[in-house]
Structure 1
């Protein structure tokens, strides 16, 4: 039992109205109101302002900084953005007032979890930030924090899966690359984007599966796949949802569900400039993190968007001046036989560096044939997808700033699509999904003018010197138009043997300290994961690929910084409040 703290005589407190006493690590404000004594944490739970300077009227304690109001008896707030204030037991012994420093309403992990949900529901960034900080500092699993956001975002957004859930998934994926502060910022950024995107968008109710009869079994998967494919083809999102939920109800595996869904999406070329494939990949990735019991809401959230998607084979750029559609359709007819009867892996050497160079060339038809030949000689679709992703990253690493600024995103779309295809093929390889590798390669081809002129790849200097301090890179990105300078810095850092782990954490902070737009989050995560896939190899191509990916993400982030940094500022306020720092005093 905690030792009581003497607050003074009752008469003195009545004369003073309010008094501050030390309650362990922080201060407690003691008030006398209507002949009753109350004790509350002296820190306003909104932003830490001292409550003893506030006003107490009719049982309501008001903080004068932002006018947050609290019931003096329970500590409950009338303002959802402010949080409840802790209250303490008070004992009066012969005109002496004593306070128990153990609060009635102690903050628990469950309360923080509930508060996080409330912050998402009301789109309150500071509430979300304080909840994330509290949960992370309490050792609550990061994936379970993400789960709260996924459950909310897939339910309270009639438009379904979007950029917010994609950011949250991407940041959850790369948490191991970040220090603790970076992890807090990453989760917070993802959750804030989910809240913003869902605000006012209504609740999504599942339609439910078709009636499951005894005759239905695993043999009905082909039939359901045909139905699903047709529903997507005619943009029938409701029909597709019922078929999907039926497949889930029947217990089909994640691999089967992924094959069914990705087949329908890749029936058309580079759908929605690659976002649809990326969203599908991210949905399956987050299921691996939070558990497959969430499949109904997570996977069905992908379907509202199919009613209004763009199909690139219908666009002019894919048909003129070079018709890309016809040779691709002819190539796709060969894929089932090629993948069913490839030569043994490694039986014929494929010059992979030359293949990447061909994908980057201005001869699209030769690229299609070269890729088909590579598959025939035994290269796996997964490896081919990895090489296409590398070619797409090369476009960004050589993107010249003489292009229009928005053209960064054009090259980014191709890279993130190629990355999503690569990751999806790692889970399951089918001829239908392999088509998307070719879609990505043709998008690389169409982006070729973004490398005209082509930015020069920096050459390292003074490689015998010690690696630079990564803080220099952050300082450099405090200024605009530091794309070339940042690339040079990174090349020198790598050549001098700089620690990649520190670099990746630094690049993560370069992203998370900004009011970054959606595509910057995609860029960082995709580059980090693709780099990881190349790290297991020891070859000249692998080393070149790793440097290319680092250059690409560095140049992209430098090109999009600095910003006003309003969102991360909110998170840092929450961190300071958790440490008990006084925001109302000069630093």
Structure 2
């Protein structure tokens, strides 16, 4: 209920003389026609004092960004602003009285509507204020993510970087404090809005008239469509499979088998984006399958196929031995003779990682094939491939061309995606994806020549014991602190301090920036792989070193790409301060 506390705004005649005044509670009162009107003094756009604006014909205009409001209702004429909170006013014996409580408050329903409007109109401040309001109202983060995912997948652009960022940020929310979670959601949603800006809504083609075909037959049709780059046919087959009640696992195998029929599509992005879509589907529920999965089919219209690229064929032909290996695996044959004894001994994980990082790709292919035929868990191989890919980032020398950071990043995020899928799938044809990741690691070998120096932690050990993790943020206020960040994180890991604080701080080092797409991928993949290795602590000798490698790799990559302008987090901070009722300008 609204309070009946009334605040005096003084004599009406004096108000007419002054035009406007600010009273207790930060309420701006204006002389209007024969009486008065009152609104919250903070412009709901960015908080500028409205009493410094102008009132003409009942329209109150803020002089900062010229947002316009009906002074009586507070309603805005500008979609990028919000309605101002208005207050009841009464005149008694020539004195103006203002109700201390506004006429209305922002409900969850209205906040959801504003979030949808912010996405549709690509207005960052509207998105930020909606996210802050929803979080403070206790709405679950997955409900907020769901709004963004369903909007993004309804656009003709299909699944791309914006949706991938939102999906990745949803995955890391448990590692972040409250402000970090707000920033993560805000970044993801803004990138979804940008990706859909100016594009027409997506219209699904619909399923085939009959869903009598088996899921196995539909999977064959789907592979055939992808083979000839028929994205529209693939969409219809996919929607038919969904209508036939294929499970999410069956749909994932159907789609990813088709993706792995050709080598390392679009530099790994195609597999990575598919994985993020299925992780999202898992999070927000199978009822969104049509919208989410159909958004992937545009990726299949013309992806690059690495077996057609020169560096996969020369100076070492990797295409032919890979195809031969896949045929042998399907037939259940070992790639070399008398290999069965090799699996009577424990698998040497450390030696395998070094093999991946070496320059003998044909030997790597043989070893992987024999390991799979010998019964090793494919997800275990995937985890080690992701570790080797992270090592490439740890060993990446800063004298390389700056753009080459993307090469090692793409390999790592692809390897992570393969790991996640093989933890969920037993489909043998997906094992081909392991080999593509291993060869990508081989192709990145020259980016570790020379190898980056090992992190120098000694200079930071004393400071770690005395200072909080925010010292890392101060370090990253300067450009190209790659080796320094690696040294700091190494010192922190060796100090025995709580890793939880470090994960949160690394997140904030990302989220306080106007970060590019790949930095979001880096943080999410590194944190996920870190968790996988930490879960093995005490059972595998390599686990502690591997977990540390993930965080060092993450710190090096983020340091290489910081600082930036930081406009987006500034907007989010304004939204949060407005929600809390803070004054943003001293003139108030």
Equivalence for 1:303: 297
Q: Deviations over 1:77-100 (max 9, x none)?
A: 111111110112223334343322
Partner secondary structure for residue 477 of structure 2? coil
Q: CA separation in 1, counterparts of 2:277 and 2:355?
A: 32
Q: CA separation in 1, counterparts of 2:576 and 2:500?
A: 24
Aligned length in residues:
578
Q: CA separation in 1, counterparts of 2:234 and 2:407?
A: 30
Q: Return the offset for 1:402.
A: 1.0
- For the Cα contact (< 8 Å) 1:463–1:496, is it kept in 2? no
- For the Cα contact (< 8 Å) 2:461–2:492, is it kept in 1? no
- For the Cα contact (< 8 Å) 1:56–1:62, is it kept in 2? yes
Equivalence for 2:562: 561
Q: Return the offset for 1:187.
A: 0.7
Q: CA separation in 2, counterparts of 1:580 and 1:103?
A: 13
Q: Return the offset for 1:471.
A: 1.4
Q: Deviations over 1:220-267 (max 9, x none)?
A: 111111111111111111111111011111111001000000010000
User: C-alpha root-mean-square deviation of aligned residues, in Å?
Assistant: 2.1
- For the Cα contact (< 8 Å) 2:166–2:188, is it kept in 1? yes
Range 454-463 or range 329-338, more displaced: 454-463
Q: Return the offset for 1:289.
A: 1.6
- In the TM superposition, structure 1's runs of 4+ consecutive aligned residues that sit over 6 Å from their partners are 342-346
Equivalence for 1:540: 541
Q: Return the offset for 1:339.
A: 10
Equivalence for 1:21: 23
CA gap of 1:339–1:86, structure 2 versus 1, over 3 A, is farther
Equivalence for 2:444: 447
Q: How does 1:59-78 map to 2 (within 5 A)?
A: 59-78=58-77
Verify: 1:369 aligned to 2:366, yes or no.
yes
Equivalence for 2:180: 182
- For the Cα contact (< 8 Å) 1:232–1:264, is it kept in 2? yes
Q: CA separation in 2, counterparts of 1:191 and 1:551?
A: 28
Q: Return the offset for 1:137.
A: 1.6
Q: CA separation in 1, counterparts of 2:101 and 2:69?
A: 19
Structure 2, unpaired ranges of 5+: none
- For the Cα contact (< 8 Å) 1:348–1:377, is it kept in 2? no
CA gap of 1:409–1:339, structure 2 versus 1, over 3 A, is farther
Range 96-105 or range 245-254, more displaced: 96-105
TM-score with structure 1 setting the length: 0.95
CA gap of 1:344–1:204, structure 2 versus 1, over 3 A, is farther
Q: CA separation in 2, counterparts of 1:346 and 1:202?
A: 56
- For the Cα contact (< 8 Å) 1:463–1:495, is it kept in 2? no
Q: Return the offset for 1:106.
A: 1.3
Q: CA separation in 1, counterparts of 2:524 and 2:266?
A: 20
CA gap of 1:464–1:5, structure 2 versus 1, over 3 A, is closer
Partner secondary structure for residue 174 of structure 1? helix
Q: How does 1:328-367 map to 2 (within 5 A)?
A: 328-338=322-332, 348-367=345-364
Equivalence for 1:165: 163
Equivalence for 1:383: 380
CA gap of 1:444–1:9, structure 2 versus 1, over 3 A, is same
Q: How does 1:385-534 map to 2 (within 5 A)?
A: 385-458=382-455, 460-461=457-458, 467=465, 468-534=467-533
CA gap of 1:550–1:135, structure 2 versus 1, over 3 A, is same
Q: How does 1:208-227 map to 2 (within 5 A)?
A: 208-212=206-210, 216=212, 220-227=214-221
Partner secondary structure for residue 406 of structure 1? helix
Equivalence for 1:143: 142
- For the Cα contact (< 8 Å) 1:478–1:562, is it kept in 2? yes
- For the Cα contact (< 8 Å) 1:347–1:378, is it kept in 2? no
- For the Cα contact (< 8 Å) 2:39–2:84, is it kept in 1? yes
Q: Deviations over 1:276-324 (max 9, x none)?
A: 0000000011112211111101100001121121000000000001011
Q: Return the offset for 1:586.
A: 8.7
Partner secondary structure for residue 371 of structure 1? helix
Q: Return the offset for 1:108.
A: 1.2
Q: CA separation in 2, counterparts of 1:432 and 1:121?
A: 40
Q: CA separation in 2, counterparts of 1:573 and 1:180?
A: 16
Q: CA separation in 1, counterparts of 2:331 and 2:298?
A: 34
Partner secondary structure for residue 304 of structure 2? coil
- For the Cα contact (< 8 Å) 2:49–2:585, is it kept in 1? no
Q: Deviations over 1:327-382 (max 9, x none)?
A: 11111112235499x99998542111111111111000000001111112221111
Equivalence for 2:550: 549
Partner secondary structure for residue 31 of structure 2? strand
Verify: 1:52 aligned to 2:54, yes or no.
no
Q: Deviations over 1:525-584 (max 9, x none)?
A: 000000100011123311111111111111101111111112222112212222333333
Q: CA separation in 1, counterparts of 2:332 and 2:440?
A: 23
Q: CA separation in 1, counterparts of 2:399 and 2:420?
A: 32
Structure 1, unpaired ranges of 5+: none
CA gap of 1:123–1:344, structure 2 versus 1, over 3 A, is farther
- For the Cα contact (< 8 Å) 1:515–1:563, is it kept in 2? yes
Q: CA separation in 1, counterparts of 2:20 and 2:584?
A: 22
Q: CA separation in 2, counterparts of 1:487 and 1:207?
A: 49
Partner secondary structure for residue 39 of structure 2? strand
Match of 1:287 among 273, 281, 288: 281
- For the Cα contact (< 8 Å) 2:265–2:303, is it kept in 1? yes
- For the Cα contact (< 8 Å) 2:12–2:35, is it kept in 1? no
Equivalence for 2:6: 4
Q: Return the offset for 1:503.
A: 0.7
TM-score with structure 2 setting the length: 0.95
Q: How does 1:194-209 map to 2 (within 5 A)?
A: 194-209=192-207
